[in-house]
């Protein structure tokens, strides 16, 4: 029996009788794939997805619906022993949690994983293979074996719903995109200067007042003086039930959801609702424009900490995630320097300056979060003035802060803007692109980023993984969201999953398998890499 061992993760097989060759492509690139020319497995009715344990049933039901898009019928889903003629899905606890295997023969398909999460990844791999092999009349999959697991444990995508809101159904669609790419973390940016998007029972004015801005800037915020004159944000927030619905949907797809509550900066929406939490105590409004603003939470006011703890108590009660993201970025010190209450705090706590005051603020919040059994993530500015060794740092301005944090021993998630900001243009022909904030991050740049650059073997252990961010100042619809993240998300996902086996030219070739699924799902994706190749 002839066998082919995968070295490029793209395999061509000549079909029996000289028919057209099949190309087997998977993104992210598997650790190992071996394809043989023995009998193929036909995905035809009747077909059952047979799960060995009931905890795999929810994932199998999702997968059955995904297969229906490809083969035009929905397989049955049953719990029972493996059989010939079926897709059998089982657990092997000796494998790592996200590790899985796929074995295809003429008689059966077996998916085996270390956990339900790993099994779901196996299903997404088989989904891509089925899309590769789909014909007009039937879908047959060649005999093959895949062994696969991710390089980095953290592979995340952020979505900003403050500048432009996304409905629950749209957030679910975003999660569908993440799960297809084996992205395991959704970072949900819920509060900012331009809108507070999470209902907090203890503080109702946050959604009565903090969700709505009077108007929105037109054009680039740094240069434009023009506004649209239209209020934005009424009713645009998530209730506790909305959040639970999203969390259930994410859990069914084995995606962890990390909420972000911004502090002490990016606070104008909260200050508009509760002016007493700012240093000036009055004159605040939800921002109609983008940028960084001097008005922030007053770090000398104990009522601010009471407020933040009340908010976080409700957030922690809703979200089961290990991490709570508490922001920490872009906090000007202008008001603190002028505020007698903040200056009193600096003196009483023996702090050197306003940077140490921010460190005091973040460490105090971290102690509270830790007391509730959770851990914090903060943007890289939490390094200023000193940071707790238990805090996880999200490095965004450049890789350098992440490198510094790793050398200090903090855990790090790498999100450098020049490689990982998907609100940036993805083509230099900006006249033909949707209006964007600026920058230039093509697929090749996302793919080429090295999160281990300048780190020795010991320091590399601090890097949890990678993430990409979608800020939505200029992204006001779901089709626009999809266009900005696809196919760049695939490049980020492969960097996180297959870091030690990357090959950009091969990646572009393999993207045809994902493109088929993008088309089946109706995703609005950028075509640049497909046109060039």
What would the two tokens of residue 137 be? 């009349």
Q: Can you list the alpha helix ranges (DSSP code H) found in 27-167?
A: 57-71, 116-133
Q: What is the mean pLDDT of residues 481-506?
A: 99
Tell which residue, 142, 118, 119, has the closest CA to residue 130. Answer: 142
**pLDDT above 50 (res 8):** no
Residues 150/501, Cβ–Cβ less than 8 Å: no
Residues 282-325: tens digit of each pLDDT: 999 999 999 999 999 999 999 999 999 999 999 999 999 999 99
**pLDDT above 50 (res 10):** no
SS3 213: strand
**pLDDT above 50 (res 1):** no
In terms of CATH architecture, what is 3-148? 2-Layer Sandwich (3.30)
What would the two tokens of residue 287 be? 């921002």
pLDDT at 221: 80
Q: How far apart are CA 375 and CA 94, in angstroms?
A: 28
Q: How far apart are CA 58 and CA 465, in angstroms?
A: 27
pLDDT at 136: 80
Residues 188/259, Cβ–Cβ less than 8 Å: yes
Q: Which residue has the higher pLDDT, 6 or 37?
A: 37
Q: How far apart are CA 19 and CA 100, in angstroms?
A: 31
In terms of CATH architecture, what is 154-502? Alpha-Beta Barrel (3.20)
Residues 347-371: tens digit of each pLDDT: 999 999 999 999 999 999 999 999 9
The separation between CA 243 and the C-alpha centre of its own chain, rounded to angstroms, equals 16
Q: How far apart are CA 249 and CA 171, in angstroms?
A: 10
Q: What is the mean pLDDT of residues 398-411?
A: 94
pLDDT at 17: 36
Active site residue 330: yes
> Of residues 330, 356, 404, 433, which has the active-site annotation?
330
- For residues 170, 173, 175, 181, the Cα torsion angle rounded to the nearest 10 degrees is -140
Q: Can you list the alpha helix ranges (DSSP code H) found in 463-503?
A: 478-485, 488-497
Q: What is the mean pLDDT of residues 414-428?
A: 98
Number of H helices, E strands in the chain: 18, 22
Cβ atoms within 10 Å of 171's Cβ, excluding its own:
24
pLDDT at 531: 87
Q: What is the mean pLDDT of residues 268-273?
A: 99
Residues 323-333: tens digit of each pLDDT: 999 999 999 99
SS3 319: coil
Tell which residue, 350, 336, 327, has the closest CA to residue 301. Answer: 336
What would the two tokens of residue 490 be? 């695939």
pLDDT band at 379 (very low <50, low <70, confident <90, very high): very high
Q: What is the DSSP letter of 410?
A: -
Residues 176-205: tens digit of each pLDDT: 999 999 999 999 999 999 999 999 999 999
What would the two tokens of residue 23 be? 């190309």
SS3 95: coil
Strand-pairing partners, residue 91, are 113
Query: Phi then psi for 521, rounded to 5 degrees?
Result: -85, -10
Cβ atoms within 10 Å of 332's Cβ, excluding its own:
14
Q: CA neighbours within 13 Å on the CB side: how many for 98?
A: 19
pLDDT at 3: 44
Q: Provide the mean pLDDT of the chain.
A: 95
For the chain, the 3-state helix, strand and coil shares in percent, each to the nearest 5, are 40, 20, 40
Residues 190/261, Cβ–Cβ less than 8 Å: yes
**pLDDT above 70 (res 9):** no
**pLDDT above 50 (res 94):** yes
* 19-33, 80-94, 408-422, 431-445: least confidently modelled range: 19-33
Tell which residue, 340, 376, 341, 374, has the closest CA to residue 359. Answer: 376
Q: Is 420 exposed, middle or buried (0-12, 13-18, 19+ CB in 10 A)?
A: buried
Give the Å distances, CA to CA, from 350 to 122, 335, 343, 353, 516: 55, 19, 11, 9, 61
What would the two tokens of residue 466 be? 């990678």
pLDDT at 532: 63
Give, rounded to a whole angstrom, the gap between the first and last alpha carbons of the chain.
Answer: 34
Q: Is 520 exposed, middle or buried (0-12, 13-18, 19+ CB in 10 A)?
A: middle
Per-domain residue ranges of the chain: 3-148, 154-502
Residues 460/453, Cβ–Cβ less than 8 Å: no
pLDDT at 219: 87
């Amino acid at each position: 029996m002839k066998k082919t061992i995968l070295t490029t993760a793209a395999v061509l097989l000549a079909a029996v009788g000289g028919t057209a060759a099949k190309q087997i492509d998977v993104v992210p690139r598997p650790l190992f794939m071996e394809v043989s020319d023995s009998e193929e497995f036909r995905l035809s009715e009747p077909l059952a997805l047979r799960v060995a344990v009931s905890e795999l049933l929810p994932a199998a039901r999702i997968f059955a619906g995904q297969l229906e898009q490809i083969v035009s019928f929905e397989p049955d889903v049953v719990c029972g022993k493996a059989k010939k003629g079926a897709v059998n899905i089982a657990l092997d606890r000796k494998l790592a949690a996200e590790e899985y295997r796929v074995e295809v023969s003429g008689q059966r398909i077996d998916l085996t994983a270390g956990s339900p999460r790993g099994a779901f990844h196996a299903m997404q791999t088989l989904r891509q293979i089925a899309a590769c092999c789909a014909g007009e009349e039937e879908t047959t999959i060649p005999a093959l074996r895949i062994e696969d697991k991710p390089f980095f444990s953290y592979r995340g995508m952020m979505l900003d719903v403050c500048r432009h809101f996304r409905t629950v159904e749209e957030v679910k669609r975003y999660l569908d995109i993440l799960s297809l790419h084996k992205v395991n973390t959704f970072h949900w940016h819920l509060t900012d200067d331009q809108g507070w998007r999470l209902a907090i029972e203890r503080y109702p004015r946050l959604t009565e007042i903090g969700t709505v801005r009077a108007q929105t800037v037109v054009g680039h915020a740094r240069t434009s003086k023009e506004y649209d004159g239209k209020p934005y944000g009424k009713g645009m927030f998530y209730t506790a039930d909305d959040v639970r619905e999203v969390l259930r949907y994410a859990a069914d797809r084995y995606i962890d959801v990390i909420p972000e509550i911004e502090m002490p900066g990016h606070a104008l929406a909260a200050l508009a609702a509760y002016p007493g939490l700012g240093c000036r105590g009055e004159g605040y409004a939800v921002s109609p424009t983008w940028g960084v603003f001097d008005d922030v939470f007053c770090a000398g006011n104990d009522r601010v900490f009471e407020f933040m703890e009340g908010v976080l108590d409700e957030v922690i009660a809703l979200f089961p995630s290990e991490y709570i993201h508490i922001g920490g970025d872009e906090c000007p010190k202008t008001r603190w320097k002028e505020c007698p209450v903040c200056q009193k705090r600096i003196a009483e706590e023996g702090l050197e300056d306003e940077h140490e005051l921010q460190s005091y603020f973040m460490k105090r919040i971290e102690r509270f979060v830790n007391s509730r059994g959770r851990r914090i993530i903060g943007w890289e500015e939490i390094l200023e003035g000193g940071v707790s060794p238990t805090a996880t740092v999200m490095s965004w301005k450049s890789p350098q802060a992440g490198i510094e944090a790793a050398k200090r021993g903090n855990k790090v998630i790498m999100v450098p803007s020049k490689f990982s900001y998907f609100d940036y243009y993805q083509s230099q022909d900006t006249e033909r692109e949707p209006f964007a904030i600026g920058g230039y991050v093509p697929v090749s740049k996302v793919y080429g980023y090295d999160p281990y650059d300048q780190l020795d073997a010991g320091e590399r252990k601090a890097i949890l993984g990678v993430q990409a961010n979608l800020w939505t100042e200029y992204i006001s619809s779901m089709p626009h969201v999809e266009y900005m993240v696809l196919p760049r998300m695939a490049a980020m996902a492969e960097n996180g999953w297959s870091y030690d086996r990357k090959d950009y030219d091969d990646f572009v070739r393999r993207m045809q398998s994902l493109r088929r699924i993008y088309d089946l799902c109706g995703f609005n994706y950028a075509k640049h890499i497909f046109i060039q190749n």
